[in-house]
Structure 1
Amino acid sequence: MELYRIGIVRERKRVLRELGVESGGVKIMAEKMQTLWIKIRRLRTPAANILKQDALSIGADLAVPSGVITCETEYVDALLIATRAQLRTLARKERAQPFGLKRLAGELEGFLNEPGEPVKIMGVLNANEDSFYAGSRFLGEAAVERIEAMIGEGAAIIDIGGVSSRPGSEPVSAEEELERVRPICEALERSGLTEKALFSIDSYTPAVVEYALQKGFGLINDITGATDERIIALAKAYQARLCIMHMQGTPQTMQLDPHYEDVTAEVDAFFTERIEACEAAGLSRDQLILDVGIGFGKTLEHNLELLRNHANFLRHGCELLIGASRKSMIDRIIPTPTEARLPGTLAIHLKAVENGATIVRCHDVAEHRQALAVWEAIGL
């Protein structure tokens, strides 16, 4: 008799198929292969008691503080532990329960979302002299040559910005920003490159965004999280995709004293509010991309927590973007100059992809293409 442990979900599915299990059975068993841990904040105590019993009845569990059974406090935090199959069943059960559990059921179902898109590489090009990584700065014909090279290396998306958003960077006028990106946009229009990749404008300035969309760009990358309704309206008018990033403060203030009670919960609540605003304006969730904003108003610990909990944001039903290329969090883990941070970048991005990211924003396209190809070959 021989035994060995099967470590990853894809391999488990392969073994089931080799055993001759029919496809419907493989799908059912796959739901039992992954255990989810879901933190629930401010759950009404009567609801916690009901949820606890319902979870236990199907083989799941709910960790709650002592005193819940006697309702000593009005609200509690709890930790739900369930397989995907159990979570699906539990959500159905809670739809018939009081104390806010019907609404909770809908929230729980969101955690069953999985990435529905292949992983895509977004290459970065900065049309300014102030970006934190000099290797991303290109102007004029050199910019077009760099874009052609990134597409050849495997970039499906090219992100172009005329203003630096590094901590402490100075804002520029809309006119100056437009003058920086205009020559590149015009050169791209002449070259026909906008037919070979999806082009993204890294801006929150309506005039700049509209100019880029007129020149064939199809994605707005807004570090302010689309808090300006004019940006949402432009996405609607041009049928463009919109990336909503979370940032605490502004590039000038964001790293002075970042503070959160619960960074994952607060970023998640921000996304919920912005998605609702976008949907109210006529955008669909498949047009939206979410970016937790690594390094934008976060300490190292905030960044690490968001990366560990990255799969949480899949529940919104939107694609997730990760952008930590050569950022200073790497230097805070192990002192490293910007030019030498590629290994740390790859480690962060591969972990984020493992946790649901399908768009990787980076400076080093060829190296990411190789790393992702090897990662995909190993499997999940």
Structure 2
Amino acid sequence: MKLYRLGTTRERERVLEGLDVDPGGVRIMAEKMETLWIMIRDLRTPGANILKQDALSLGADVAVPSGVITCKTERVDALLIATRSQLRRLIRKAAGQPFGLKKLAKELRGFLREEKAPVRIMGVLNANEDSFYAGSRFLGEAALERIEAMIEEGAAIVDVGGVSSRPGSEPVSAAEELERVKPICEAVKASRLYERALFSIDSYTPEVVEYALHSGFGMVNDITGASDERLIDLAVEYGAAYCLMHMQGTPQTMQKNPHYGDVTAEIDAFFSERLERCEARGLPRERITLDVGIGFGKSPEHNLTLLRNHRNFLRHGCELLIGASRKSMIDRIVSAPTEARLPGTLAIHLKAVENGATIVRCHDVAEHRQALAVWEAMAQAPEGEGA
């Protein structure tokens, strides 16, 4: 007799398929394989009691504060523990209940999303001289050569920016920013490079964004998270994709004592509000990518919490971008200058991909392509297969 533990859900599905289980049975059993742990903040106490009883009736559970049954407080936090199968049935029950459970049911549906786009690498190119990593700075003819190289190395997206957003960086005028990126935009348009990769403009200046989109760029990378609705309108007008990032404060202030009550919950609520704003202006969430903004108004502990909980944000039905390339959080864990942070970068990015990220923004395209290829091969290899 031989025994071994099955690790991932995909491994379990492969074993079921190998046992010649009916495809319908594989699907049903797969729903019972993954246990979801969902934190629910600010739930009305009567609703918490109803939710717990309904969960228990299905074999799931809800952890609530002691004394909740007597409704000592008006609202409580709760932890829902359920398989996908149990959650599906619990949502149906909650949809017909009072005390805010109807709205909760709608929110919980997002956790059943299973679609995942292929992982794409976004290469970084900075058309300025003050970005935090010198290896990403390219001007003039060198910029075009670097773009060509990144595409050859495996970049599906090229992110071009003319202003540094490192902590403490100083803003520049719209005219100066446009002057920096204009030659690259013109080269992309003249060489039709947009036919070989998706070009993203890393800017929150409407004039710059519009010039780039008119030059063939197809994505707006907005670190301000749609603070200026003109950027949303431009994405709608040009049919562009839109990356919506969270940042607390501004690049000048964001790392001065960043604070949150619950960083995951607060950023999740931020995304919910901004997505509603985008959809109201005609930008569907299918064209929106979410970026939690590692290092943008977050302490190292905030960053690590977001990486652990990254899969949570899939519930919004958008792709997730991870961008921690060579950032200072690596130095806080193992002291290393910017030039020596590639190993830490790869560790963070692979974990983020495991937790749902499908766009990896990085300075080192070839190295990421290799790391992702090996990671994907390991994830897909049948149990027990030799090298």
- TM-score bracket, normalised by the shorter chain, equals over 0.9
Q: Partner of 1:362 in structure 2?
A: 362
Counterparts of residues 219-234 of structure 1 (less than 5 Å)? 219-234=219-234
Superposition deviation, residue 113 in structure 1? 1.4
Superposition deviation, residue 22 in structure 1? 1.4
Q: Partner of 2:340 in structure 1?
A: 340
Identity among equivalent positions (%) equals 78
Q: Is the 8 A contact 1:295 1:329 kept in 2?
A: yes
Counterparts of residues 84-233 of structure 1 (less than 5 Å)? 84-233=84-233
Structure 1 residue matching 2:82: 3-state secondary structure = strand
Q: Distance in 1 between matches of 2:226 and 2:375?
A: 33
Superposed CA offset, 1:319-339 (max 9, x none): 000000000000001101100
Q: Distance in 1 between matches of 2:80 and 2:30?
A: 20
Normalised to the residue count of structure 2, the TM-score between the two structures is 0.97
Superposition deviation, residue 188 in structure 1? 1.5
Q: Distance in 1 between matches of 2:184 and 2:41?
A: 47
Superposed CA offset, 1:311-355 (max 9, x none): 010010000000000000000011011000000000000111111
Q: Distance in 2 between matches of 1:17 and 1:254?
A: 50
Structure 2 residue matching 1:147: 3-state secondary structure = helix
Q: Is the 8 A contact 2:324 2:349 kept in 1?
A: yes
Superposed CA offset, 1:152-171 (max 9, x none): 11100000000000000000
Q: Partner of 2:290 in structure 1?
A: 290
Superposition deviation, residue 116 in structure 1? 2.5
Q: Partner of 1:305 in structure 2?
A: 305
Structure 1 residue matching 2:69: 3-state secondary structure = coil
Structure 2 residue matching 1:272: 3-state secondary structure = helix
Structure 2 residue 254 is the aligned partner of structure 1 residue 254: yes
Structure 1 residue matching 2:159: 3-state secondary structure = strand
One-letter amino acid of the structure 1 residue matched with residue 325 of structure 2: S
Q: Is the 8 A contact 1:115 1:319 kept in 2?
A: no
Unaligned runs of 5+ in 2: 381-387
Q: Partner of 2:316 in structure 1?
A: 316
Superposition deviation, residue 2 in structure 1? 2.0
Structure 1 stretches (4+) deviating beyond 4 angstroms? none
Q: Distance in 2 between matches of 1:241 and 1:308?
A: 26
Q: Is the 8 A contact 2:116 2:356 kept in 1?
A: no
One-letter amino acid of the structure 2 residue matched with residue 221 of structure 1: N
One-letter amino acid of the structure 1 residue matched with residue 326 of structure 2: R
Superposition deviation, residue 114 in structure 1? 2.7
Q: Distance in 1 between matches of 2:264 and 2:257?
A: 17
Superposition deviation, residue 261 in structure 1? 0.6
Counterparts of residues 21-40 of structure 1 (less than 5 Å)? 21-40=21-40
Unaligned runs of 5+ in 1: none
One-letter amino acid of the structure 2 residue matched with residue 54 of structure 1: D
Q: Partner of 1:75 in structure 2?
A: 75
One-letter amino acid of the structure 2 residue matched with residue 55 of structure 1: A
Superposition deviation, residue 244 in structure 1? 0.4
Q: Partner of 1:241 in structure 2?
A: 241
Structure 2 residue matching 1:352: 3-state secondary structure = helix
Q: Distance in 1 between matches of 2:323 and 2:105?
A: 32
Counterparts of residues 264-279 of structure 1 (less than 5 Å)? 264-279=264-279
Q: Distance in 2 between matches of 1:302 and 1:44?
A: 27
Superposed CA offset, 1:166-200 (max 9, x none): 00000000000000000111111122211100000
Q: Distance in 2 between matches of 1:257 and 1:8?
A: 38
Q: Distance in 1 between matches of 2:151 and 2:25?
A: 41
Structure 2 residue matching 1:379: 3-state secondary structure = helix
Q: Distance in 1 between matches of 2:25 and 2:231?
A: 46
Superposition deviation, residue 115 in structure 1? 4.1
One-letter amino acid of the structure 2 residue matched with residue 333 of structure 1: I
Q: Is the 8 A contact 2:55 2:61 kept in 1?
A: yes
Q: Distance in 2 between matches of 1:90 and 1:292?
A: 29
Structure 2 residue matching 1:111: 3-state secondary structure = helix
One-letter amino acid of the structure 2 residue matched with residue 110 of structure 1: G
Superposition deviation, residue 7 in structure 1? 1.2
C-alpha RMSD of matched pairs (Å): 0.8
Q: Is the 8 A contact 1:131 1:166 kept in 2?
A: yes
